[in-house]
Structure 1
Amino acid sequence: MSTVELNRFIVILIYGSLVLLSLLKLANPLKVNRKGNLWFGLFLFLWSTYWLDEIWSLIKGSQIEIHSILSVQFVQFLTPVMFYFSVLFFANPSFKFKWSDIKYAILPIFFLINLVLQRYGNFTDQSFFEFTFIGLILFQALFYTGLSYFTIRKHQKRIQQFSANTEGINLNWLEYIILILFIINIIYVIYNLFYDPTSLNAFINIAFLLVIYFVAYYSLKQKEIYPVEEKKLDEFISINEENESEEIKRKLIPDEELLRIKGDLEKLMEQEKPYLDSELNLIKLSEQLSVSTHHLSYVINTGFQKNFFQFVNEYRIEYAKKLLKDNTANKLSILGIAYESGFNSKTSFNTTFKKFTDQTPSEFKK
């Protein structure tokens, strides 16, 4: 098989995989993260249009440039926006568009005006429009991938306010997609500037195909990030917003009440050991303590100077240390100790243990 034939085969795989995956995300048979998956499916479908030229050229047997059609160019320009919207709804399913969000249409409108003027304007010098065309594409891509990256980072902090196990809901895979695509695009731009771009097509397409399979694996594997009813979800979001606000400095409860709840919480953690439940979250703990989630979050943040993730996992790590030191528990593997201590995977156990002790569990045991 020649390089050209290989590249054609890879292009077919890329386009077919993206269209199939977009349909799966739009159909969402598992009914999880509905809004996030809807926008992510639209993003994947728009992403697939970048290979339409090559697909139709293979079908027709001659070179066809679909990307030069005005409507196709405009739709492709919206690809980074669709990705950002999917990140927004993965991170906050209760997010609702407001009139102020009309700002997301500013760049697309400028791009559409530029396209129309470039196509139908009676201008002898097209260099300005061509430069603006490329500049808007690059700026839009960098701007929205940057926004997506910071939204994911904010989400990773938010979930630590109500969940003690963040693996599987931290959206790391979306963060990796951004970084991988950014690196691939840098390589592509550099190669186009200094080398023959046609020789890079097969390599770039293989890289994109691997990224698509990575996306397929993790996006289909993504479980419900907020497995709670909408009312509780709004509580979680509002708790996080309060913690980010200067108003957190005001007292939600009197000092006497704070000390009472703090004492009850320490007693519960020592005697009942709720941290051994791998599915423990702020709601479960607040129900066991018979206090509101807002008050419990305030007590943990203010009374212990920690977030929920840090507070619970400190207990888990201390319990794991006892098991690692205990000769009678030596029959347990590291994974067994992880499960006994309330962790739901060896990876999260190792990562958290290293974070709290600067040692891996194996190093500590030795």
Structure 2
Amino acid sequence: MNTSELNRFIVVLIYGSLVLLSLLKLSNPLRVNRKANFWFGIFLFLWSSFWMDEALTMVKDSPVEIHSIIVVQMIQFLTPIMFYFSVLFYTNPSFKFKISDLKYLILPLIFCINIMLQRFGGFEDHNIFSYVFIGLILFQALFYTGLSYLTIRKHKKKIQQFSANTEGINLNWLEYITIIIFIINIVYLVYNLSYDSTALNFFINGAFLLVIYFVGYYSLKQKEIYPVAEKQLEELISISEDPETEEVKKKLISDEELIKIKKHLEEIMVIQKPYLDSELNLIRLSELLAISTHHLSYVINTGFKKNFFQYINEYRIHYAKKLLKDPQSKLSILGIAYESGFNSKTSFNTTFKKLTDQTPSEYKNGSGL
């Protein structure tokens, strides 16, 4: 099998995989992250259209250029926007479109006008429209990729305000996708402007196939990011990812009340050890103290100068350090991780290293200082 035949085989895999994956996300058999998975399924289906020409060419055994059809060009142009919409709903299931969101139609409208002028405007020189065409595609892709990346980064900060175990809900896989697609598009653009793009097709398609399998694996195993009731969801979403900014804006409780709740919280942490529950979140802890999630978040942010993630995991690491140095303990590193409230060895090692500058194994075998 030569390179050309292998490339055609890869194209079939890419197109088939994207269509199948899009149907799985749209049907959403696990019924998780429903709105996000709907938009992500639309994105995957639109993304598959970029390989439709090659797939149909192989079926008909003659050149097919679906991408030249205006409707198809518009659909393809909307692909980055669909990806961004999925990110919006992954990070905020309560997101609702408003009149102001019509701004998302500005670039597609300009793109459509450019196509119409190029096709039916009667202009002899189409070069300027071609440059605008390419520029709009590039700008749209880079703009929404960057916006998606920033949205995910904000999400990762926000979830630390109410979750002590962020692994599985931090959307790392989605962040990696934005970076990888950004890099591949830049490489392809530079190569397309400087060399013969067809020479790169095999490698670009191979890279995209790996990305698609990566997307399939992690998107299908993505669990519900906010597995709480609607009212609680609204409370969590409204908590700011930047506690310092929130503190400047408003003072939720008096200093006397802050000290009282802070003392009560420390007593509960020492006596009841709720941090050993791997599913502990801001809602569960606020129920133990019989206060609102906003007040508890304010107490942790203002009274301890930490977010919820840092506050809880410091207790967990302190508990784990005792187990690691206990000569009577027969637990493995993984066992100690679970015993201390972590839900994976990876998150345990990462958090332990961050707080102690040592891995759990180094701490156990070293001085422990």
The alignment's TM-score, normalised by the length of structure 1, stands at: 0.97
Amino acid at match of 1:256: E
1:353 and 1:170 map into 2 onto residues whose CA distance is 18
Q: Is 1:344 aligned to residue 343 of structure 2?
A: yes
Aligned equivalents of 1:93, 1:154: Cα separation in 2: 15
Report the Cα distance in structure 1 between the residues aligned to 2:102 and 2:197, rounded to whole angstroms.
38
Residue-by-residue CA offset, 1:74-129 (whole Å, 9 max, x unaligned): 11000000000000000000000111111111101000000111111110111110
Q: SS of 2:240's equivalent?
A: helix
Match in the other structure for 1:360: 359
For each residue in 1:56-75, what CA deviation from the matched residue of structure 2 results, as whole angstroms up to 9, or x when unmatched? Answer: 11111111111000000011
Give the corresponding residue for 2:108.
Answer: 108
Asked if 1:307 corresponds to 2:307, the answer is yes
User: Does residue 335 of structure 1 match 2:337?
Assistant: no
SS at match of 1:328: coil
Conserved? CA contact 1:49–1:76, under 8 Å = yes
Which residue is 1:268 aligned to?
268
The aligned residue for residue 190 of structure 2 is: 190
Residues in 1 aligned to 2:55 and 2:129: alpha-carbon distance in whole angstroms: 28
Letter in 2 for 1:118: Q
Q: How does 1:55-66 map to 2 (within 5 A)?
A: 55-66=55-66
The superposition leaves residues 289-331 of structure 1 with CA deviations (integer Å, 9 ceiling, x where unpaired) of 11111111111011111110000000001001111111111x2
Runs of 4+ with >4 A deviation: 244-249
Distance in 1 separating the partners of 2:212 and 2:346: 24
Hey, what does 2:44 align to over in structure 1? 44
Q: Is the 8 A contact 2:240 2:246 kept in 1?
A: no
Structure 1 SS opposite 2:231: helix
**Residues 165-314 of structure 1 correspond to what in structure 2 (within 5 A)?**
165-240=165-240, 243=243, 245-246=245-246, 248-314=248-314
Cα deviation per residue 1:35-63 (whole Å; 9 max; x = unaligned)? 10000000000000000100111111111
User: Which secondary structure state, in structure 1, belongs to the residue aligned with residue 169 of structure 2?
Assistant: coil
Q: Match for 1:33: what amino acid?
A: N
**1:28 correspondence with 2:40:** no
Distance 2:175 2:199 in 1: 29
Contact 1:11 1:205 in 2 (8 A): yes
Tell me how far 1:247 sits from its aligned partner. 5.8
Matches within 5 A, 1:9-158: 9-158=9-158
Maintained 8 Å contact 1:242/1:248: no
1:87/1:30 Cα in 2 relative to 1: closer, same or farther (>3 Å)?
same
Amino acid at match of 1:350: N
Write the deviation string for residues 10-48 of structure 1: whole angstroms up to 9, x where unpaired.
111100000000000000010000010000000000000
Contact 1:23 1:41 in 2 (8 A): yes
- Displacement of 1:244 in angstroms is 6.7
Corresponding letter in the other structure for 1:354 = K
Aligned residues: 365
Aligned-pair CA distance for 1:250: 2.8
Counting aligned pairs with the same residue, the percent is: 75
Moved more, 52-61 or 217-226: 52-61
Q: Which runs of 5+ in 2 are unaligned?
A: none
Counterpart secondary structure, 2:14: helix
Could you tell me which runs of 5 or more consecutive residues in structure 1 were left unpaired when the two chains were aligned. none
Aligned-residue Cα RMSD (Å) equals 1.3
TM-score, reference length from structure 2: 0.97
